Amino acid sequence: MKRLFVSLYLLLSLSFLGIGWTLDSIWQHYIDNGASENAPLVAFAQLLSQLPEDKRASYLKKMTHTPDFPLTLLDANQVALADKHQLTNDAVISIATTPTTELHFVAVGDQILMAGPLDLDPNAKLRGLFNLFFYLSLALVSLIWVWPLSRDLKTLQSAAKQLGIAKWDTQIVLSTRSQVHELAQTFNDMASHIAHLIDNQTHLLNAVSHEIRTPLSRLKFALALMSQYARSHIPNQSQLSDNINQDIDEIEALLEELLSYTSLDPQYDRPKFEHCELNLLVEKTIKRLQIHQIIPITFIPLATQIEIKANALLIDRALQNLITNALRFSQQSIIVEISCNKKWIQISVIDDGEGISSAEQDKIFEPFYRSNNKHKNETRGHGLGLAIVKRIMEKHHGSATLESHHGQTKFSLNLPLNLPRPID
């Protein structure tokens, strides 16, 4: 909008100056005589003064008279002027007789030459045409500026209507020279964001409905069996009760994962960041997860302590998800390593599982996507763990990456050493 205001201001200013200067130059050069308009009358009066007084009137009558400039020769006693007006033969005295006319007087010896009545502004009509041309020129320049703006605004209006009827893929294509190009870009970003949110919500609803349907079906079946067991007194109710509790725990875990995922959506407020000692943070997470785990987790810290500005709980959650995922597929060992360069710090979780195929690597961070690889545990996750990791990294202006081949899989959390200033 600043660009729009500046362009309009410059257009009007330069148009006023350019058109006004051009018309003024034409007027001064071809029309306005200024102070020299009285010179012919003074010269004629001086010519008459060279003639004898009795021949001046006859000489004046012989001249071809112009209706717009009548001349009359008067005796001095026929004209009464105020004391402040002193007649001479080299200057013209003008006296207004009506609001639109005036008389000009100049001395011719002892007589007086009178011209008039004359129009006060003989070029009034022409001046009016010049004014009309000036404003029409401004109107034309403004039209040249406003017409493409109006066209682009209509394009914006049409796109807004399309977005209003749920056409989420609506995008505006305008020339980079357009006055509202930045506004169109903002609209496109908004439309893309809305489309992403709608698509994400639709995907989540479909996935959740699918994920919850299975444990709910088992619950219904178990409840039906329980009523039969209650009537027949079959001693399997304890096992059935455990199965029901497992299904309930599965639904609760899914809902907890879903809430965690949605809370990390970019539309929500950014988390609070604080200074964290990274070696200590990673070491605590590993010790907590190593309990009751047979596979050893080897930690390779940085040689020196390093502090980063981050949300410690979210970093812990992301690392926990990666290590838990590695425990499902690892065969003998897991390595957690921290490395850094001048711009980035990287936390890597490496396992010796069978690896992830290249076809799956592009989808592995999508919500509710689960790898087809075999894992040691019978229970499978809900496919939200790595999606949560990706969003946590986006909240920290970083990224989550994957490198995998047969016999090794490496997930990495990449964090900037200097966190960019967040956009409010």
Looking at residue 155, its pLDDT comes to 87
Domain of residue 403 covers 274-416
Last residue of some domain: 120, 149, 164? 120
Tell whether 162 is covered by a domain.
no
d(CA 213, CA 221): 12
Looking at residue 67, its pLDDT comes to 73
Last residue of some domain: 120, 144, 174? 120
Judge whether 102 and 96 are in contact, CB under 8 Å: yes
d(CA 77, CA 386): 115
Tell whether 362 is covered by a domain.
yes
Asked whether residue 249 falls in the same domain as residue 359, the answer is no
Q: Is the pLDDT at 345 greater than 60, yes or no? A: yes
Asked whether residue 320 falls in the same domain as residue 344, the answer is yes
Asked whether residue 222 falls in the same domain as residue 91, the answer is no
pLDDT in tens, 304-315: 888 888 889 999
Query: Which residue has 């041309």 as its token pair?
Result: 133
Spatial CA neighbour of 3 closest among 172, 130, 147, 181 = 181
Sign of the dihedral defined by the CA atoms of residues 52, 57, 62, 64, in that order: positive
Share of the chain above pLDDT 70, in %: 75
Burial of 392 from C-beta contacts in 10 A (0-12 / 13-18 / 19+): buried
Tell whether 134 is covered by a domain.
no
β-partners of residue 413 are 347, 400
Asked whether residue 278 falls in the same domain as residue 402, the answer is yes
Asked whether residue 258 falls in the same domain as residue 284, the answer is no
Asked whether residue 225 falls in the same domain as residue 340, the answer is no
Spatial CA neighbour of 389 closest among 204, 218, 264, 242 = 264
Looking at residue 83, its pLDDT comes to 63
Tell whether 228 is covered by a domain.
yes
Tell whether 167 is covered by a domain.
no
Sign of the dihedral defined by the CA atoms of residues 97, 101, 102, 104, in that order: negative
Last residue of some domain: 263, 296, 312? 263
- Rg of the chain's alpha carbons, rounded to an integer? 47
DSSP string, 162-223: HHHTT-TT------TTSTTHHHHHHHHHHHHHHHHHHHHHHHHHHHHHHHHHHHHHHHHHHH
Tell whether 153 is covered by a domain.
no
Number of domains observed in the structure of the chain: 3
Looking at residue 336, its pLDDT comes to 94
Looking at residue 323, its pLDDT comes to 93
The region, left, alpha or beta by phi > 0 then psi within -120 to 50, assigned to residue 116 is left
Whether pTM > 0.75 for this model: the answer is: no
Asked whether residue 245 falls in the same domain as residue 374, the answer is no
pLDDT in tens, 201-232: 777 776 666 666 767 777 777 767 666 665 55
Asked whether residue 211 falls in the same domain as residue 279, the answer is no
Judge whether 346 and 327 are in contact, CB under 8 Å: no
In three-state secondary structure terms, 47 is helix
pLDDT in tens, 114-173: 887 777 666 666 666 777 777 777 777 777 777 777 888 888 888 888 888 878 788 888
369 contact partners, CB below 8 Å, separation of at least 6: 363, 383, 386, 387
Q: How far is CA 180 from CA 3, 185, 186, 266, in A?
A: 9, 9, 10, 26
Tokens found for residue 353: 């599982």
Q: Is the pLDDT at 31 greater than 60, yes or no? A: no
The region, left, alpha or beta by phi > 0 then psi within -120 to 50, assigned to residue 378 is alpha
In three-state secondary structure terms, 309 is strand
d(CA 357, CA 406): 8
Looking at residue 338, its pLDDT comes to 92
pLDDT in tens, 382-423: 678 888 899 899 888 899 999 988 889 999 999 998 755 443
The CATH number of the domain where 351 resides is what?
A: 3.30.565.10
Tell whether 296 is covered by a domain.
yes
Asked whether residue 248 falls in the same domain as residue 324, the answer is no
